[in-house]
Amino acid sequence: MSAAQGTPSVVVLDYGFGNVRSAVRALERVGASVELTADRSRAQDADGLVVPGVGAFAAVMQGLRAVRGHEIVGRRLAGGRPVLGICVGMQVMFEEGDEHGTLTEGLGEWPGLVDRLDAPIVPHMGWATVEAPSDSTLFAGIADERFYFVHSYAARTFTLGEDLPADSPIRRPLVTWAEHGGRFVAAVENGPLVATQFHPEKSGDAGAALLENWIRSL
C-alpha cells in the first residue's frame, strides 16, 4: 500500500504495446495509485501489476522480453504477487500463440494455444455477455453485465486443473467463457494471476466494477 495515501499501488507495465493511458485512468478512477513504467524494481514492489496488450501475439512477446517483462511476471507470481493481464496481455500467459501458421512461445503460465477465432466475422468487436463461475471474485456483482471485446484470436480451451479430483485441496482456476462462433476463454482467475480477454478499461461501469473488485483483492 502507498504509505502516503493508504491506497493500493499498481504498476501498468510500459513495454510499448497496449492501451496504457486508458488503463491508467481507469485504475485511478477506482482508487489505485498508478504508475506507468518498465522499471523492474517498481514493477516487482507494487501491490498489483497490470500487463496490457494490443496487436499481435509475437510483437507483444518481443516487447515484453525487451524490458524483461517475462522475468517480472514470473517472479511476481512465484511470490504470490498479483498480476492482471488484459487482452493480448492475457493471451501471452498461455504456452503458444498461432498467427497465420507461425507459432510464438508465450509466458507459459497456462497450458494451451491461442489461435484465430473460428467465426463468420473476425475480428470480434463490440459488447458481449460472459459466463462467469458463481464463486468468481472478479465478477462479483457484475456477472450479468456486458463487456467490450476487440480481438481476432483467443484461447478456446483451458485444461489447467481439469484432472484435479473434486475433493482436492488445490483450488481449480476459475474460467469465464464467452462466445463468438464458438466458446472462448473470456477471463481466468488463477491465484495471483488474473486476466481478461475483453478490455475492462473500455467496458464502462461494468469494467470499472471489475477493476474495483481486483483492486479490493490486492
Q: How far is CA 176 from CA 42, 73, 84, 185, 197, in A?
A: 30, 22, 15, 6, 10
Task: Determine whether 199 is an active site residue.
Answer: yes
CB 138 within 8 A of CB 213: yes
Instruction: Identify the bridge partners of residue 7 per DSSP, sorted by sequence position.
Output: none
CB 193 within 8 A of CB 120: no
DSSP state of 218: -
Q: How far is CA 2 from CA 10, 48, 82, 192, in A?
A: 10, 12, 16, 20
Angle between helices 57-66 and 69-78 (to 10 degrees): 80
Instruction: Catalogue the E-assigned strands of the chain.
Output: 9-13, 33-37, 48-51, 83-86, 94-99, 102-105, 110-116, 124-129, 146-151, 153-155, 174-179, 183-190, 193-196
Q: Which of 109, 145, 201, 212 is catalytic?
A: 201
How do beta strands 153-155 and 174-179 pair? unpaired
Active-site residues, by number, are 87, 199, 201
